Amino acid sequence: MALAVELARAKAALAGLSGTASDAQLTVELAAAEAQVAALCGWPPDDDGVRGFGAGTFTLYPSASRSEPRLLPLPFEPSAVTTVHSDTSYVYGSGSLVSSSDYTITRDGLWRTDGGAWTLAPRALRVVCEAGWDAGEAPSEVEAAVVAQLVHRWRVLRPGQGVPSASGRDGSVQRDALTAVPQLVQELAALSPVWRWRAHVG
């Protein structure tokens, strides 16, 4: 999965950072920042095990809505659905494939249009889909949240790498606490379409 936020955009947010000497480390921190915001918004890792907003393929095992049996909520709005299987034997073969004409992608998830209902059996539903954005194409609110988290990591966390804690006027702060998502990042993420999607489904 490629990053959804471009390196140039990230560098522009860090005043005084020029040249390419820090590009490798900055890319690592950018990937970590994007993963943290994606986790905050409830996005799972893609099929390569990478968490972020970059375009990728996801294999999901969602649970159908108990209040609305025609609805299959997803953790994000997919850009495309490759296959949907409904199989209580967990084989997910061709015989359990749900026809694409039997459902539609809505803001709520996958909605049955054939009058049927999704099974409530655990892990019986498997969805393979595409989601995320190519570099530079993520919504501005998503980009802003990721960049804000990067700035936090670069200015607060990075100087403390290799030490268990950082000292301040109020005493020592454990390094693990420095990886937390600041309030500003949470507020920016809450304004983004990925957060609204999560809140709407959840």
Tell me the two tokens of residue 67. 């209040």
User: Which run of H or of E encompasses 149?
Assistant: helix 140-152
Please give the pLDDT value at position 130. 96
Asked if residues 118 and 83 have their Cβ atoms less than 8 Å apart, the reply is: no
Give, rounded to a whole angstrom, the gap between the first and last alpha carbons of the chain: 25
pLDDT given at position 70 = 96
Q: Which two tokens stand for residue 96?
A: 């359990």
- Cβ atoms of 105 and 77 closer than 8 Å: yes
Q: Domains of the chain: which residue ranges?
A: 7-54+138-201, 56-131
Helix (H, G, I), strand (E, B) or coil at 87: coil
Which residues are paired to 110 by β-bridges? 72, 105
Spell out a b/e string for 38-72, using b for 16 or more CB atoms within 10 Å of the CB, else e.
bebbebeebeeebbbbbbbebebebebbeeeebbb
**Predicted TM-score (pTM) of this structure:** 0.81
Is the distance from CB of 31 to CB of 84 less than 8 angstroms? no
For each of the chain's 202 residues, which pLDDT tens digit applies? 588 999 888 888 887 777 787 889 899 999 999 999 999 888 999 999 999 999 999 999 999 999 999 999 999 989 999 999 999 999 999 999 999 999 999 877 999 999 999 999 999 999 999 999 999 999 999 999 999 999 888 887 666 554 445 454 555 545 444 557 778 888 888 877 777 555 444 4
